[in-house]
Chains A and B, each alone.
Chain A
Amino acid sequence: MGDRGLLLEFGDEISPEVNEKVRRMALAIRATSIEGIVETVPTYRSLLIHYNPLILSIEELKKRLKGIENGLQQAPFPEPKLTRIPVLYGGSYGPDLEEVAKYHQISPEEVIRLHCSKPYFIYMIGFMPGFPYMGELPQELVTPRLKTPRLSVPAGSVAIAQRQTGIYPMESPGGWQLIGRTPAKLFDPEKEPPALLQMGDLVQFYQISEKGFKEWHE
C-alpha cells in the first residue's frame, strides 16, 4: 500500500482460522523486532505493515517476512483469554433492543438470552481505540445496520450488526444496533495495555440490572 505499507493477506473471508494466521504472523513479527518496521495493523484477514523505506528496502522486508513465515509453526502462541462483560440490556441503555426483537419476531428477553448464549471470538480491535469486532452472532440475531447511522452513540454501548457484535469504548457516531450498555471501561490511555480486550481473545456477555450497572466497579 503506497511507498511505505505492505499488506499481507491470509484469506478472503471472516473466519477464526484465517484470523489466527494473521495473529500468529503479527505476534511473530513483533517478537522479532525488525528495525525499519514502524507498525503492524492486524485485522480480520490481513496484516498491514508500515515500514520505513529509508531504513528497510521492500525487498529486504519481504525476505525477512518470508523467513518469519517459515518459522511460524514453532513460534509460541498464547491460549485465548475469556473476559466476562456485564451488560444492562434495553431501555435507554439499549434503544434498539425492541426493534431488533420485532425484526426477528421474538421477545426482547429472547434477544438477550441469545446474545448471552455463547462466548464470542475477537477478530480485531479497530475503528476506534478498544472497539472489539466479535462474532459470530447466533443466526437468529443476524440484523442489518441502521439505515441512518446515529451521530452520537454513548460510551459503553453494546451493539450488533450483521453477524458481528461490538462495544463502543467511547462516544462516537455509529450505525450498529444498540441493544445494551456495559459499565466496564474498555479503553484507558493511561493503562498498559490500554485496551481491556485483545484480538484473539473471547468475550462472554452476561446481563445485569440497573442497580448492578450503577454499583459496578472493576
Chain B
Amino acid sequence: MARVEAFEVLKPGILTTVQDLGRYGFSQFGVPPSGALDPFSFRIGNLLVENQEEEASLEITIMGLKLKTLRDVVIAITGGDLFPTLNGESLEMWRTHLLVEGDVITFKRIRSGCRAYLALSGGFALPKIMGSRSTYLSGKFGGLQGRALKRGDILYTLDRPPPLNKLGLRFPSDWIPSFEKETVLRVIPGSHDHHFTEKGFKTFSSSTYQVTPQCDRMGVRLEGPKIERRSDVEESIISEGLISGAIQVPGDGKPIIILTELVTGGYTKIATVISTDLTKVAQLKPGDRVRFEPISIEKAHLLLIEQEGRLREFKRFVEQC
C-alpha cells in the first residue's frame, strides 16, 4: 500500500514519540522493550480507529504538540487529558473524529494525567526495527529515526480509506480511567524483601511519596520517607532483569518506579506495580502523590482478566458497528 502524508509537525511539544506495544525478544542483546507507557489507553485508541491494537501511535507528553492535517484522516485521542483542541475548539477524547485537510490539532496543557495517545486510522507508516516501531530514545533507534518529533517533520500513513462508519464512536465513559493527582498503586511485594527491615517495608506501604521532576520513559523517581534497609546485607545486588513497574530502592532509600526503557539493574526491588495499574504510573507527573498498596498475585491476575474482558467486549462492539 502506498504511503501518503498525514500530518506536518508545526510544534513538537515537550516530548512526542512514535510508540507501539514494544520490542520483545531482544533483551539478551541489552535492548529494552520501549513502547507505550500506558498500554491500556494506547490500545483503546487503536480500537476506536479500527486499527490492530499494536499499530503505532503518537505518545504525547505534557503539552505543546501542534499538528497540521494534510489529508482527510480518522483519529482518536486517549490517555491523559492534555486539553486537545481542533482549530481552537476543545476536542472530545476517547472518541473517533474525522479531520480534514488543513485542520490544526493542538495539545494545550495538562488537565489530568501526563501522556496522551493519538491513534490514526491506517497507522504511522514507519519501518519496524527489531519487530517494532517503538522509539527507544537513549538507544536512538525505532520510531521516527530514533528520536522525538521535531518541527517540520512529515508523518506518513498508509493510503487506506478512512473508516467513516466509525465516526463518533465513543469508549464507554464509565470505563475511562481517571487520573488524579493522588493515586494508589497496587503492588506485589518482592523480590528482595530480605534487604529491607520490617519497619522499612511498613514505611513503604504506609507513606505518601511525591513524584520528582526526574521522571521520564526510563523511570519515575519519588521523594518521601526513607525506606530502612537491613545493615547486614549489601546495598546493591548483582545486576538482573527488570520489568516495567518494578520499584527499585537505591542507597538513599527513595523508591524509583522503572518504566519501559531499561533492561537490567543492580538495585534492590521492594515490590512491582501490577499490570493494570501501569496506566496510572504512565500518567504520573512531577508533584503528584502516590501510595502503595500490597496485594496478592492472584488478585492482580483477576484484575488483569477483568480489564482484558472490557477491552474484548469493546472490541466486539466496535466490530459490530
Contacts and interface: CB of A to CB of B under 8 A. Distances in A.
Interface residues of B, number: 41
A58 to B, nearest CB: 7
Contact of B30 (A50, A53, A127): A127
A184 interface: no
Contact of B243 (A2, A26, A128): A2
Interface in A8-64: 12-14, 26, 38-48, 50, 53-54, 57-58
Contact of A48 (B29, B140, B240): B240
A76 interface: no
A43 B239 contact: yes
Interface stretch (A65-73, A97-105, A189-197): A189-197
A125 B33 CA distance: 15
B260 to A, nearest CB: 11
Contacts of B25: 39
B28 A125 contact: yes
- Prevailing SS type, chain A contact patch: loop
B100 interface: no
B88 interface: no
Given A1-B191, A26-B28, A44-B239, A128 B275 contact: no
B58 interface: no
A124 interface: yes
Contacts of B140: 170
A146 B26 CA distance: 30
A3 B139 contact: no
> 10 smallest A-B Cβ distances: which pairs?
A48-B241, A41-B241, A2-B272, A126-B264, A3-B300, A195-B29, A189-B141, A5-B243, A125-B30, A41-B27
Interface of A: 1-5, 7, 12-14, 26, 38-48, 50, 53-54, 57-58, 124-131, 133, 170, 172, 187, 189-190, 193-195, 198-199
Interface of B: 24-31, 33, 129-130, 138-142, 187-188, 190-191, 238-243, 245-246, 263-264, 269, 272-275, 297, 300-301, 304-305, 308
Given A54-B304, A195-B29, 15 more contacts: A1-B191, A1-B243, A2-B187, A2-B188, A41-B241, A45-B240, A54-B305, A124-B239, A126-B30, A128-B30, A130-B29, A170-B140, A187-B29, A189-B129, A193-B29
